[in-house]
Structure 1
Amino acid sequence: MKNKNTTIGIVTGLICSIVGLILVLLFFGKGNSLNDSLQIALNQGVFTKLMSMGAILNLGAFFLFLKQEQDSRAQGVLIATVVVAITTLIIRFI
């Protein structure tokens, strides 16, 4: 049961990161559409910064799971956040 809850937490964390990235692109993007904003961010080299800002939604999911005493799910969100951070570093330095 613990592995299932951790997996749910990982999926929740990844979904929150993706939704956060979309919201950041919509609010801070300079393009007329989501795709334009993404292309501009990639061309200007600020995509990793926007990606990091998008992961802020994971804080809400993490503390929500902790408040509900679902530690395994909170652990999954933390794992997803580390995966996003490592992915950001890889994209940034390659």
Structure 2
Amino acid sequence: MNKKDIFIGMFIGLVANAIGLFFAANLLGQGEDFTHVIQAAAKEGFLGKLISLGAILNLLAFFIFIKKRQDYRARGVLLITVFVAVFTFVFKLF
């Protein structure tokens, strides 16, 4: 049951990050198309920052799971958040 809850938390963390990325791109893109904003962010070198902004919704999911005492799901969200942080760090290096 613990592995299942961790995977559920990881899935919710990925979905929350994707939704957060979509909202951040729409907010900062000033009405541009989502794909256009992502391409422009990649060209201008701030795609990693945009992905990191998307991870803010993981904070919300994490605290919801902590409040409901679903610690293993919160652990899955935390794992995805750390993965995103490492990914953006490596992405920025190259």
Letter in 1 for 2:91: I
Residue 32 of structure 1 aligns to a residue in which SS?
Answer: coil
Cα deviation, residue 31, structure 1: 6.6
Aligned residue number for residue 61 of structure 1:
61
CA contact (8 A) 2:6 2:73 kept: yes
The runs of at least 4 aligned residues of structure 1 exceeding 4 Å deviation read none
- In the alignment, structure 1 segments of 5+ residues that lack a partner are none
CA contact (8 A) 2:9 2:77 kept: yes
Letter in 1 for 2:34: L
CA–CA separation in structure 1 for the residues paired with 2:30 and 2:47: 12
Aligned residue number for residue 39 of structure 1:
39
Structural RMSD (CA)? 1.0
CA contact (8 A) 2:26 2:32 kept: no
Aligned residue number for residue 92 of structure 1:
92
TM-score (norm 1): 0.96
Between the two proteins, the alignment pairs up a number of residues equal to: 94
Letter in 2 for 1:70: Q
1:35-78 alpha-carbon deviations (Å, 9 max, x no partner): 11111111110111111111000000000000000000000000
TM-score (norm 2): 0.96
- In the alignment, structure 2 segments of 5+ residues that lack a partner are none
CA–CA separation in structure 2 for the residues paired with 1:61 and 1:31: 27
1:66-93 alpha-carbon deviations (Å, 9 max, x no partner): 0000000000000010011111111110
Identity of paired residues, percent? Answer: 41
Aligned residue number for residue 11 of structure 2:
11
